[in-house]
Amino acid sequence: MKIVGAGLAGSEAAYFLAEHGVKVELIDMKPNCTPAHASADLCELVCSNSLKSDDVFGNACGLLKEEMRRLGSLTMRAAEASRVPAGGALAVDREKFSGYVTRVLRTHPNITVLSREEEQLPAEGIVATGPLTSGGLFVAIEARYGALHFFDASAPIVSAESLDLAHTFTQDRYGNGTGDYLNCPMTREEYTAFWRELVSAERAELHDFERGEIFEGCMPIEVMAARGEDTLRFGPFKPVGLSWEGGRPYAVLQLRKENAAGTSYNLVGCQTNLKFGEQKRVFSMIPALHAAEFERYGVMHRNTYLESPKCLNADLSSRDCPTLFFAGQMTGVEGYVESAASGLLAGIHAWRRQMGKETIVPPSTTVCGALCRYISAPNSNFQPMNANYGVLAGGFEEVRDKRSRRRLLAERSLNDIEAYRAALGL
């Protein structure tokens, strides 16, 4: 079976199919890279915290990860093998993560990895080329299905040795973790000066983009800041849940380890489209970063996704070709975990289709099943969707305590994913 794209979705699909006896041709443009890539390895992540929360009973993305573990996810195996401390989040060493996946796929006896850029849609297989689909394949997809676009952005990374630790303190918000975050406090005067320069800083031009929608889940910090002086203080720079020897700071930038060795730090919540020189100038106004060395500047790029409610079924197959499946962010699931989950499900559905069996979509009481139904249900204002409790089928409304209700939803989800696994014969 042909799978186009070896990001998280394509890798998950290829691994599931190969593990269940299907011969797979995994086609990817690597080692050629787009501006959003930095490595020739497969399954590359943009930042160490891309997999987000690991709280199974209090966070929808944490619950989705547990559903994936129970379905045999390669992403979850790789994440555990490359995990770095990050409080309640599942953070990874990005190089170790992609290296792990690359080794598994390239050495699997049922997988042949082909390095080329696919130009046409296959009649049978899985397309998981991601939000940066380009060239002839992009033209083919747009001609057949149409396409939508929005902007996505990533945050800068700085070297640990260049930080001024005298202006930092180590603490996780609300004490949830093992001291994995480095906090950079700011006084009111420092924050106000930073904010003023941030909102007036020069942004990079975006000549290659066709439209300018910005997905709320990955808002560039300068766009967020332009909504008001205190917007960041109620968002990524919020001081709540942190205590400092000088009292509660007026604002706090959090830094998170980007690798297991702790030699690099990611500026949490600071995804940006500022020009590189402006990034250095503005972020260096934060006391802890006054001499920071930037190992990677933030970048912004176009993400492409299908208008899935019009062209995809809930099993991720094309409505005009039941043997052609789509997976990943191009389907309208937003986020690395969500993309990987869609790839895993596309692999499961393609496997059953090849065996001549009907596909079985997970119930809407599970996060993975609810997301599949979201992207395939009629929607005149379709937008990418992260894992969240709002997409889950209702229940337990009588339970007023939010934490208790979420636990009940999670317990129901895990029971139902076990039943789903049994129905598949896994």
Give the Cα separation of 203 and 184 in Å (integer): 24
Residue 49 — very low, low, confident or very high, per pLDDT cuts 50/70/90? Answer: low
**What secondary structure does DSSP assign to 319-367, as a single string?**
TTEEEEEE-SGGGTB-SHHHHHHHHHHHHHHHHHHHTT----PPPTTSH
For residue 377, the model assigns a pLDDT of: 93
Give the Cα separation of 249 and 300 in Å (integer): 30
pLDDT at 34 over 80: no
Q: Per-residue pLDDT tens for 340-378?
A: 999 999 999 999 999 999 999 999 999 999 999 999 999
**Structure token digits, residue 346:** 């596309």
Q: How many other C-beta atoms lie within 10 A of the C-beta of residue 414?
A: 18
Domains and CATH numbers, the chain: 2-147+306-424 (3.50.50.60), 157-301 (2.40.30)
**Structure token digits, residue 261:** 């060795």
**Mean per-residue pLDDT, 319-325:** 96
Q: How many other C-beta atoms lie within 10 A of the C-beta of residue 88?
A: 17
Closest CA to 146 of 319, 21, 357, 10: 319
Give the Cα separation of 98 and 87 in Å (integer): 22
First to last CA, the chain: 20
Q: Of 138-152, 280-294, 376-390, which one has max mean pLDDT?
A: 280-294
Residue whose structure tokens are 């599949």: 372
Specify the length of the chain in residues: 426
For residue 388, the model assigns a pLDDT of: 87
Q: Which helix (H) or strand (E) holds 410?
A: helix 402-424
Q: Per-residue pLDDT tens for 175-233?
A: 777 777 899 999 999 999 999 999 999 998 754 443 455 565 678 899 999 999 999 99
Contact 45, 29 (CB under 8 A): no
- β-strand pairing of 264-267 with 157-159: antiparallel
Q: Is 92 helix (H, G, I), strand (E, B) or coil?
A: strand
For residue 210, the model assigns a pLDDT of: 34
What residues have CB less than 8 Å from 102, skipping those under 6 apart? 41, 42, 43
Of residues 148 and 64, more confidently modeled: 64
Q: How many other C-beta atoms lie within 10 A of the C-beta of residue 375?
A: 26
Contact 184, 288 (CB under 8 A): yes
pLDDT at 153 over 80: no
Task: Outline where DSSP puts E strands in 134-286.
Answer: 148-153, 157-159, 169-170, 181-186, 251-257, 264-267
- β-strand pairing of 251-257 with 181-186: antiparallel
Q: Write the single-letter amino acid at 279.
A: Q
Closest CA to 72 of 18, 129, 127: 18
Mean pLDDT of the chain: 90
Q: b or e along 339-362 (b: 16 or more beta carbons within 10 Å of the residue's beta carbon)?
A: bbbbbbbbbbbbbbbeeeeebebb
Global pTM exceeds 0.85: no
For residue 121, the model assigns a pLDDT of: 93
What residues have CB less than 8 Å from 305, skipping those under 6 apart? 131, 147, 148, 149, 150, 329, 330, 331, 332, 384
Contact 326, 346 (CB under 8 A): yes
